[in-house]
Chains A and B, each alone.
Chain A
Amino acid sequence: MKCVTPLGLYGVLFLAFVYAPILLVVVFSFNANPINMMIWDGFTLDWYRLIFGMEAKAAESASYIDSTAQLYAAVRTSFVVAFATTAISTLFGTALALAVSRFRFRLAGFYRGILLVPMIMPDIVLGIALLIFFVTIGANLSIGTIIVGQCTFLISYVFVTVSARLALLDETLEEASADLGATPLQTFRRITLPAIAPGVLGGALLAFIISMDDLVITYFVAGTGDTTLPIHIWGMLRRGIKPEINAIATLMLLFTLVVAAAGLYFRQKKE
């Protein structure tokens, strides 16, 4: 038998530390025991059935999903918000990255700095600030305020991702294009955009995933009628950790992995 080195052991423990809790959630989502999920009571898909509003053999009393309709509404809200914020933040984040890297103006470094601040700003501070702001201007809290609120920091994520890609772009390529007769717009479409496309796509996916996942800021600026999936889950949790939550978490995990994998795949294909 091979000797286990201390470093190897450390590596295994580290991976266990990071992934074991997530793995447990996935395993528990298939556990038939409705009372104590720590005790394995056989394999079941009942929790998934419950989520999708299907008949389940599990004790009905265990179900804490008040109505599947509410869950669906939350999922729908999350998707609407995620698509809208992704579109807006990708557009503005990319434009900002281009402006800061291409135009030489005073305080360019300062602008770059303040664009990074929303990323490191404590969520709770940003959430309170946004809430006070919306209340002050008299805006009704709604899906609109969620979108605006999330964009304030998602733009920064896109900005950073696209900026990193732009830094790799040789500016003489744009000069070469102009030299061959291309207008600035043609140069952007034919040379700059293809070069930064992986960065734009990466930024968009990042924005999408973060938007789907955001709880704190969204919680502050969401109207009573507009519940996103994380807020819905948070609401469920307050009444105890129930097996259906494991199933929902597992599905969210799966969805995120699929989106991330798609991102990696397209990126690889580009290169």
Chain B
Amino acid sequence: MPRLLEIHKASKAFHSPEGGTITALDEVSLSLSSAEFLTLLGPSGCGKTTLLRAISGFEPLDRGQITIDGQEMTDRPAHRRPVNTVFQRYALFPHLTVGRNVSYALEIAGTPKAEIRTRVGEMLDLVGLAGLGQRGISQLSGGQQQRVALARALVARPKLLLLDEPLSALDKNLRRQMQLELKRLQEELQIGFVFVTHDQEEALTMSDRIAVLAQGQIQQLGTPEDLYRHPANRFTAEFLGESNLLPVALHDGAAILADGQRVPASGRGTSTLMIRPEMLGTAPVADGLTFAGTIRERFYSGTSNLLIVETQAFGMLQALLRADAPIAVPGSPVTLYAGRADLHIIPGGAT
């Protein structure tokens, strides 16, 4: 059975106003099994939006190939591709009612009137806007417009839905709620989602898999746990979550830290050891690493305490402790411990 989406060596360059070229996509390959929630994550200008627009057909590729459900898409115009998109600013048709916005794809497809009515009703139910079909777009709140955009893109029952930073215009609480709803929708409908965002927290919360993009290339592709715990390179480690990155020398089956502490590791040369702030604690651990230092700052967030600890050998370290852990005041000495299982050496990662 063909995969739902297959991208093979997609490349695209733009001309910059200064006369040079900007590589937006550099031989990106990617595939999506059906009913998967894939997130394209990266900073602005990394190529994630270009990749999404290449899938929807708005950005022709310079080289490479895209197939959807086994069908070649590369030269097919946008209106003949079996995907639908939720746009960043929703792009709802202002002169049409909510109902007519949602029914648009069906009207174009020539679906019988009675069926259109039923399916639009179902869609509005699904996104929680039942009974608002007669409303004008300008009468809706941002969250409601978001739901209309979703209903409009889902009404034709695409197998693949593309979402271009759809939550970026919402305030924080609404965002959180929509994240959960989108995930629920995707699981309920059992279709593929390709979701573009620059928000790493959003990506971790919702995705089955995440592709981290930078400079037109996929830096790493994997499950959220995978990416968070075992980043393949420094970029991923720094982009996803907070981290303490310590230079190490690999030698004789061990990674040697600047202060002489050792942890077992293979390889040679220099590399980077990553310790997530929440992996550092004040309770002693039998065989791990120990960092003695002075508390410089403390940030309390309700669920946790973030300590900034100054150490002799490594400069500032961040440690995220549970809020109920005993905490000394800034200025006092502290010893932090990290278990061996919680350490990650970034492969090939000369600093």
Contact = CB atoms under 8 A, between A and B. Distances in A.
A235 interface: no
B78 A178 contact: yes
B79 A170 contact: no
Given A180-B84, A180-B104, A181-B108, A173 B93 contact: yes
B77 A173 contact: no
B201 to A, nearest CB: 26
B95 A180 contact: no
B104 A177 contact: yes
Contacts of A180: 84, 104-105, 108, 152-153, 156
B91 interface: yes
Interface residues of A, number: 19
B93 A179 contact: no
B161 to A, nearest CB: 11
A178 B104 CA distance: 11
Contacts, number: 58
A181 B103 CA distance: 12
A176 interface: yes
Contact of A186 (B87, B91, B108): B108
Interface of A: 170, 172-173, 175-184, 186-187, 190-191, 194-195
23 contacts: A170-B91, A172-B87, A172-B88, A172-B89, A175-B85, A176-B91, A176-B93, A177-B93, A178-B58, A178-B77, A178-B79, A179-B56, A180-B105, A180-B153, A180-B156, A181-B80, A181-B105, A181-B108, A181-B109, A182-B79, A182-B108, A191-B93, A194-B95
Interface of B: 56-58, 77-80, 83-85, 87-89, 91-95, 104-105, 108-109, 152-153, 156
Given A176-B85, A178-B77, A187-B79, 17 more contacts: A170-B89, A170-B91, A172-B87, A172-B91, A175-B58, A176-B87, A176-B93, A178-B78, A179-B79, A179-B83, A179-B84, A180-B84, A180-B105, A181-B79, A181-B105, A181-B108, A182-B104
